[in-house]
Amino acid sequence: MRTAMNFPRQDGAILVVSLLLLLVMTLLGLTAMQVTRMEERMAGNARDMDLAFQSAEAGLRDAEDRIRVMVARPATCSTAPCGVWQRTAVAIPSNLRDQTKAWWVANGQEYGTGGVQEVTDVTQDPLTITQEQGFVPDSLTTGHGPPDGRDFYRVSAHSFGGTETARAVLETTYTRRF
């Protein structure tokens, strides 16, 4: 028969090994939580930027549609509010991307019906600026009456996403015959 005296002494080695394994598993769990939180933030920021981009795209299409349905060449102006800005308007800088929200509100035209939020999930409807770029005649010959040709417009749109930290500014050139 064996007695308790015959067993070798263990001195708690299994306890130390268990605590070390528990510590390693805790660190792995904390790291996984931090990675998951970071990925969730990145996905939220990507969604916010996509909302800003899509809203600005809607603003561009709305401004282009306003030009498309006109029956005659629009009258241009150089002071806000303008439907179509003159090509040489001093109020319109060449780089619209760096302009502040206050500048866009003062000089831009709101998407759809003014004062009504029509684009959902964004902080405000997109703002657009349409600027006359010039007229290109179809031929260089001169004759009686005005020449046939195309008018070119620079259409710019500014929009925020779900928060004001994500914003997008898009530009396009739109051409139309009158």
| 88 belongs to a structural domain | yes
- pTM for the model stands at 0.76
CA distance 158 to 104: 8
Q: What pLDDT score does 138 carry?
A: 81
Burial class (CB in 10 A: 0-12, 13-18, 19+), 59: buried
Asked if residue 157 belongs to a domain, the reply is yes
What is the distance between the alpha carbons of residues 93 and 88, in angstroms, rounded to a whole number?
A: 10
3 within some domain? no
Whether 1 is in a domain gets the answer no
Q: Provide the pLDDT for residue 26.
A: 96
How many residues does the structure list for the chain?
178
Q: How many domains does the chain have?
A: 1
Tell whether 51 is covered by a domain.
Answer: yes
Residue 4 confidence (pLDDT): 57
Spatial separation of the C-alpha atoms in residues 158 and 128, rounded to whole Å: 6
Establish if 58 belongs to a structural domain: yes
Contact 158, 46 (CB under 8 A): no
Q: Identify the pLDDT of residue 7.
A: 61
Sequence-distant (6+) residues with CB within 8 A of 26 are none
41 domain residue, yes or no: yes
Query: What residues does 112 pair with on adjacent strands?
Result: none
Cα dist. 90→57, 62, 75, 133 in Å?
25, 24, 17, 14
Three-class SS of residue 171?
strand
In a domain, 42, yes or no: yes
Q: 130 with 102: CB under 8 angstroms?
A: no
pLDDT band for position 41 (50/70/90)? very high
Q: What is the mean pLDDT of residues 37-57?
A: 93
The pLDDT-based confidence of 128 (bands split at 50, 70, 90) is very high
CB neighbours (10 Å) of residue 104? 24
Strands (E), the chain: 109-110, 127-137, 149-160, 167-176
pLDDT of residue 6: 63
The mean pLDDT value of the chain amounts to: 87
Residues of the domain holding 43: 10-176
Tens of pLDDT, residue by residue over 129-162, are 999 998 888 877 766 667 788 999 999 999 999 8
